[in-house]
Structure 1
Amino acid sequence: MDYGRPVSDIADTSQGFAFGEALYPLGGVYGPLTGRYLCILLVHEGQVTITSDDTRAMLDEGQCGIFYNEHIYLAEFEIKRRVRVSWCEATPGNLPEAVAMRVRGGSAGIDISERLDTLIRIGVDLGSAFGANINAFRNALGEAVFHAFFHDARMWEQALQMPRPVQTAKQHIDDYFADDLTVAGLASKAGVTPQHLISLFGKHLGVTPIRYLWQKRADRSQFLLLNTGLTIAEIAYQCGYKNPFHFSRQIKQRYGVSPKEIRARGGYRTPAELRELSKFTGRKSGLTVKGRSELHGQVQGPKGGDAQRRKDP
Structure 2
Amino acid sequence: MSCSALSQSQLICNVDRLVTDILSNKINISNVSIQLSALYLPLVADYDSSLDYFPTITAFIDSTNKVVSSNHSKKIRWGYYNTKNFIDNLSIYKDAILKNNIRVIEQEEVNTKRLIIYMSQMLNHYSRLLIVRVDLGYSKDTIHLISIETFHKHLKKLRELIGKTESCFEELEGNVIALEQGHDRGYHVHLLLMFDGSKRWKDTHIGQLVGEKWQSITGGLGSYHNGNSLQYKKEQEARGRLGIGMIHRRNPKEIQNAINASLYLTKPDKKNQHLRVKLHKMRTFTHGIYETAKRRGLPKY
Q: TM-score range by the shorter chain?
A: under 0.3
TM-score by length of 2: 0.25
- TM normalised by structure 1 equals 0.24
